[in-house]
Amino acid sequence: MIGDLGAADATELAGLVAKGDASPSELLDAALTAVEARNGAINAVVLMQEDVARQSIADGLPMGPFRGVPFLIKDLGVEAKDFPSHNGSRLLANTTYRGDSSIFTRIKATGVVTFGRTTSPEGGIGAATEAAVYGGPTRNPWNLDHTPGGSSGGAGAAVAAGIVAFAHGSDGGGSVRIPAASCGLFGFKPTRARLPDGPYAGEGWAGMAIDGFLTRSVRDSAVMLDACEGADLGAPYWAPPLARGHAAAISRPPRRLRVAICETTLTGEPIHPEVAEAVRAAGRLLEALGHSVEPSRPRADVPGMMRAWTDIVAVGTALGIRSALKGRPLSDDLVEGVGRGACAHAETLHPTRYLEAVGDIHAFGRQMAGFFEPEGGGGPDILLTATLAEPPAKVGRFNHDTEDYVAYRTGPGGIFAYSPFCAVFNASGQPAASLPLGWSSDGLPMGIHLAAAFGQDETLIALCAEVERASPWTAKRAPMAG
């Protein structure tokens, strides 16, 4: 077992440590061996700090729920003083931090042994992970010709390859759920502000971005979310309090729920037939579990939301790039095409557009809230869709060469056409999850997406756990994971 991290979830590995059947050093050795054997093929793990990991073990790990389990953090957004970061960009290569972010402080308290970072696209933009700073694309362990998704693509690839049992990610437009769908994993995006952003930032992308985790099991996500949830000092806002917590919520199934099923995009366009059939199969599974499943989709302004998302992220990207340039020219040896295009697009926007776009996002959130009416109001409790409109894309399709940032996001065949569901719930702030329930005819994972009303994280994760028990997925493993 110690030599095969690909066969266990983090809870099981922590149990081995607690019982004395494995030591933290032995688990770290196994993870490092897996990096050596598999990372050359997938290019997912970077900026390794073995000495830091060894020292954390020697100093005595916290007695948290994942004591001794190897762990990786995303190379974007999670500041950690012992872990320099490229942030997916040559411009920001080898950035160091004066202290740990709130989310990393809470992650460390679980007792994990962090030993490196995972790849991310520049700026966290896109549904693939192919940043120039890492010397090549990150590849999907299920099929190396395909992308593991983005922007937490390195995290998804590392978990799917059996290097670690779980890893940190973040999600501003699907960046946890897209890799989960692409890599056969579970990914959960909590309600807006459920997890802390400070002290280096107050919010990400007008509140649309939030941290998360790529896991094999629902229970690993539930326990890690409980360990990290809650506002940090000075947070501008916070999520509605949990009643019992995620881990307690998955201890028993939720009440029987009203489920709206949509086998098209949310604006009615067809999706890949194999993906649509996976959605229908998930609907049949929920019906067999006693839930009420009826066709429906929200009547919300999804195209308007996508325009607002695109403008907000362009402004945020331009702000970060201009700040890091420190007066240097915006050149292609420092910033990739999509980043340069985002800067150019931001320059075209009226000075009031950013706040107007935030207002559009808020209005959209109210439209989506109206779809998920309170219990007894007649609306659905859950929206069931695909996570992506098609199976995982080929490497290169969503690289950052183009400078046409708007077309990259919203054009024909662009990111929003490929991933038309995920960003909806970053904009609305509602919790959403991708479950590995579908498989294409050529053996690629396909995610099923479940979403709930704002603040209803416990109901959603309880349903995810019920589905996992009814249709277990952990036995399915990428070929290189053993």
Residues 419 and 126: their CA atoms lie apart, in Å, by 10
pLDDT at 378: 75
Beta-carbon neighbour count of residue 479 at 10 Å?
11
Cα–Cα–Cα angle for 139, 140, 145, nearest 5°? 70
Residue-by-residue pLDDT tens, the chain, 482 positions: 455 666 799 999 999 999 999 999 999 999 999 999 999 999 999 999 999 999 999 999 999 999 999 999 999 999 999 999 999 999 999 999 999 999 999 999 999 999 999 999 999 999 999 999 999 999 999 999 999 999 999 999 999 999 999 999 999 999 999 999 999 999 999 999 999 999 999 999 999 999 999 999 999 999 999 999 999 999 999 999 999 999 999 999 999 999 999 999 999 999 999 999 999 999 999 999 999 999 999 999 999 999 999 999 999 999 999 999 999 999 999 999 999 999 999 999 999 999 999 999 999 999 999 999 755 567 999 999 999 999 999 999 999 999 999 999 999 999 999 999 999 999 999 999 999 999 999 999 999 999 999 999 999 999 999 999 999 999 999 999 97
At 252 the pLDDT is: 97
Residue whose structure tokens are 């266990």? 8
What is the distance in angstroms between the CA of the first residue and the CA of the last residue of the chain?
12
Q: Where are the domains of the chain?
A: 5-301+358-481
Which of 56, 74, 89, 170 is the catalytic position?
74
Catalytic-labelled residue, pool 151, 152, 217, 428 = 151
Residue 129 burial class via C-beta count within 10 angstroms: exposed 0-12, middle 13-18, buried 19 and up = buried
Q: How far apart are CA 264 and CA 386, in angstroms?
A: 8
Q: 394 phi and psi, to 5 degrees? A: -70, 150
Spatial neighbors of 205 by CB under 8 A, at least 6 apart, are 172, 312, 313, 316, 426
Question: Are 190 and 209 contacting, i.e. CB atoms less than 8 angstroms apart?
Answer: no
476 classed as catalytic: no
Within 10 angstroms of residue 294's Cβ, the number of other Cβ atoms is 10
The CATH number given to 5-301+358-481 is: 3.90.1300.10
Q: Yes or no: say if 217 and 175 are a contact pair by the CB < 8 Å rule.
A: no
Q: Is 151 a catalytic residue?
A: yes
CB of 173 closer than 8 Å to CB of 306: no
Nearest Cα to Cα of residue 53 among 45, 65, 61: 61
Which position among 89, 102, 152, 175 bears the catalytic label?
A: 175
Torsion sign across C-alpha atoms 235, 129, 437, 413: positive
**Whole-angstrom Cα distance, residue 369 to residue 339?**
33
**Does the active-site annotation cover 101?**
no
Q: Provide the angle, in degrees to the nearest 10, between the axes of the packed helices 218-228 and 457-470.
A: 160
Chain-centroid distance, C-alpha 191:
13
